[in-house]
Amino acid sequence: MDYIVFEKIFDEIVEEFPTVYTKGIHGIFLSREVKKDPSISSLYRLGEYRREPRGLGDHIVIYYGSFMIIYPHLSFEAMREKISHTMLHEVQHHLEHRSGIDKLGDEDRLFIANYKKQMGIKEKKNIKKDISDIIKLLFWIITFILIVLFITGH
52-85 tens-digit pLDDT: 877 778 899 999 999 999 999 999 999 999 999 9
- Check whether residue 34 and residue 49 sit in a common domain: yes
- Check whether residue 43 and residue 67 sit in a common domain: yes
- Check whether residue 77 and residue 140 sit in a common domain: no
Which pLDDT score is estimated for 129?
65
- Check whether residue 20 and residue 49 sit in a common domain: yes
- Check whether residue 26 and residue 63 sit in a common domain: yes
Torsion angle (degrees, nearest 10) of CA 16, 21, 36, 7: 20
- Check whether residue 150 and residue 99 sit in a common domain: no
Which pLDDT score is estimated for 44?
94
Which pLDDT score is estimated for 31?
97
- Check whether residue 50 and residue 108 sit in a common domain: yes
- d(CA 50, CA 60) in angstroms, rounded, equals 6
Low-confidence stretches of the chain (pLDDT < 50) are none
Number of domains in the chain: 2
Domain hosting 133: range is 125-154
Query: pLDDT tens digit string along 77-95?
Result: 999 999 999 999 999 999 9
Which pLDDT score is estimated for 126?
59
